[in-house]
């Protein structure tokens, strides 16, 4: 009788040793996001985070804290990253998609967790992904306290992966922003996007790669000679510090009446979510400059203008609806924080929709 041949987990496509090497490599990036609220727990099964802490120098207690949670991915933008072989930017997108949603309610991000599903666990590649997630967390002033990397060769093909993120934040109950205070006469401020952000990439891929047979390495004259892949993979801008700074400035006066993160659905789909039933947002399309990528996609599509505004952010990544008497001061403060801010419209009497003019 022959010697019995044993099978291993590695033979099925999952490498535990590679996972251990990956954990060692990313530990420094993860630790770089930790502040005094993170409780260290070596080899723990979950991350620990103090909502309040006792150190006199840092003490900050909440009277009526409300926890705010968000989850999101980066959609088919990961397919562009896979095509380009780039893993150093989509992690920022992943963080941005959740934390930018969270600040709409007035919440400050506290901590973040990630999930990566991959075909094969390559420690160097995963380390780049996690390092970019950690970079996003540092921009958002939140701690990366945990994550999961799942090696699943039967679900993902070679060099394929997907990612999801989960964020938790906090806001005082009486400081929650819902849009209920928005009223006719309010000013709509638009904060510039860095480009496409993380929405509309199914259409982008159809236009660029299926219809026009472009490559991520092509240099596009209409985009200033930039490489197409670099433009498409420009990370989503994280607005946390700028917006939270404004909210801290006006702790008593509630002059920020509503906010919107401009994701899928564009300006016309996201601003109505924070408008009262008797209000419209009247926006002037020529009141801000759109990055070149939008005009380029519209041209080579071709895509109708209405469809562009329904799919893409068109150069405005975040909107703040503010009391008119404070619009200039808020604009100045956001500008000092590094934002490009445009007065893109006003709130009028209406029926909870965006009117483009």
Q: What is the mean pLDDT of residues 283-307?
A: 97
Would you say the CATH fold of 187-356 matches that of 12-175?
Answer: no
Taking Cα atoms as reference points, which of 299, 341, 294 lies closest to residue 320? 341
Q: Is the pLDDT of residue 300 over 80?
A: yes
Q: Assess contact for 159 and 82: CB atoms under 8 A.
A: yes
Residue with tokens 């496509």: 13
Q: Which CATH architecture has domain 12-175?
A: 2-Layer Sandwich (3.30)
State whether residue 331 is helix, strand or coil: helix
Predicted local distance difference test score (pLDDT) of residue 197: 97
- Reported confidence tier of residue 110, pLDDT bands at 50, 70, 90: very high
CA–CA gap between residue 247 and residue 334 (Å, rounded): 11
Q: Find out whether 223 and 233 touch, Cβ atoms under 8 Å.
A: no
Query: Bigger pLDDT: 181 or 19?
Result: 181
Q: Phi then psi for 248, rounded to 5 degrees?
A: -70, -35
Tell whether the model's pLDDT for residue 23 goes beyond 70. Answer: no
Least confident of 106-110, 123-127, 329-333: 123-127
Altogether, the residues listed in the chain come to a count of 357
Residues 102-112: what's their mean pLDDT?
97
Please enumerate in sequence order all residues whose Cβ is within 8 A of that of 69, keeping only pairs 6 or more positions apart, or say none: 166, 167, 168, 169
Give Cβ neighbours of residue 258 (< 8 Å, ≥ 6 apart): 177, 178, 179, 181, 182, 186, 274, 275, 320, 321
Sketch the domain layout of the chain as residue ranges.
12-175, 187-356
- Strands 108-118 and 143-151: what pairing? parallel
Q: What are phi and psi of 48, to 5 degrees?
A: -115, 135
**Cis previous bond, 272, omega within 30:** no
Sequence-distant (≥ 6) Cβ neighbours of residue 117 within 8 angstroms = 150, 152, 155, 156, 161, 162, 163
Rounded Cα distance, 126 and 26, in Å: 8
Give the tokens for residue 81.
């990253």
pLDDT above 90 for 11: no
Q: Which residue has the higher pLDDT, 127 or 138?
A: 138
Instruction: Tell me the per-residue pLDDT of 248-267, one tens digit each, with 9 for 90 and over.
Output: 999 889 999 999 999 999 99
pLDDT tens digit sequence for 138-195 = 999 999 999 999 999 999 999 899 999 999 999 999 999 999 999 999 999 999 999 9
Residue 334 Cα to chain centre, angstroms: 19
pLDDT at 345 over 60: yes
SS3 state of residue 174: helix
* Mean of all residue pLDDT scores within the chain: 91
Domain 187-356: homologous superfamily in CATH = PurM-like C-terminal domain (3.90.650.10)
């Amino acid at each position: 009788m022959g010697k019995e041949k044993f099978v291993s987990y590695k033979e099925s496509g999952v490498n535990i040793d590679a996972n251990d090497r990956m954990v060692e490599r990313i530990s420094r990036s993860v630790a770089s996001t930790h502040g005094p609220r993170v409780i260290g727990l070596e080899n723990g099964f979950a991350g620990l985070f103090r909502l309040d802490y006792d150190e006199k120098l840092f003490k900050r207690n909440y009277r009526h804290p409300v926890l705010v949670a968000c989850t999101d991915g980066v959609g088919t933008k990961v397919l562009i990253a896979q095509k380009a072989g780039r893993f150093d930017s989509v992690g920022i997108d992943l963080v941005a998609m959740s934390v930018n949603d969270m600040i709409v309610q007035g919440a400050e991000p506290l901590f973040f967790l990630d999930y990566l599903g991959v075909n094969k666990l390559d420690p160097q590649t995963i380390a780049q992904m996690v390092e970019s997630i950690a970079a996003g967390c540092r921009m958002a002033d939140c701690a990366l306290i945990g994550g999961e990397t799942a090696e699943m060769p039967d679900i993902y093909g070679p060099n394929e992966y997907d990612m999801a993120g989960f964020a938790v934040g906090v806001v005082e109950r009486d400081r929650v922003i819902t849009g209920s205070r928005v009223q006719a006469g309010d000013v709509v401020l638009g904060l510039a996007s860095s480009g496409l952000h993380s929405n509309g990439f199914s259409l982008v891929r159809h236009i660029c790669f299926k219809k026009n047979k472009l490559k991520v390495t092509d240099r596009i004259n209409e985009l200033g000679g930039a490489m197409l892949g670099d433009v498409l993979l420009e990370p989503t801008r994280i607005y946390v510090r700028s917006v939270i700074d404004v909210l801290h400035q006006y702790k008593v006066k509630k002059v920020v009446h509503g906010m919107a993160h401009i994701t899928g659905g564009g300006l016309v789909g996201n601003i109505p979510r924070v408008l009262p039933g008797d209000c419209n947002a009247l926006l002037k399309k020529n009141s801000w400059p759109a990055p070149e990528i939008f005009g380029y996609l519209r041209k080579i599509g071709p895509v109708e203008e209405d469809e562009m505004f329904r799919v893409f952010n068109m150069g405005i990544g975040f909107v703040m609806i503010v009391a008119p008497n404070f619009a200039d001061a808020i604009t100045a403060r956001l500008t000092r924080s590094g934002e490009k801010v445009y007065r893109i419209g006003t709130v009028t009497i209406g029926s909870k929709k965006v009117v483009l003019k």
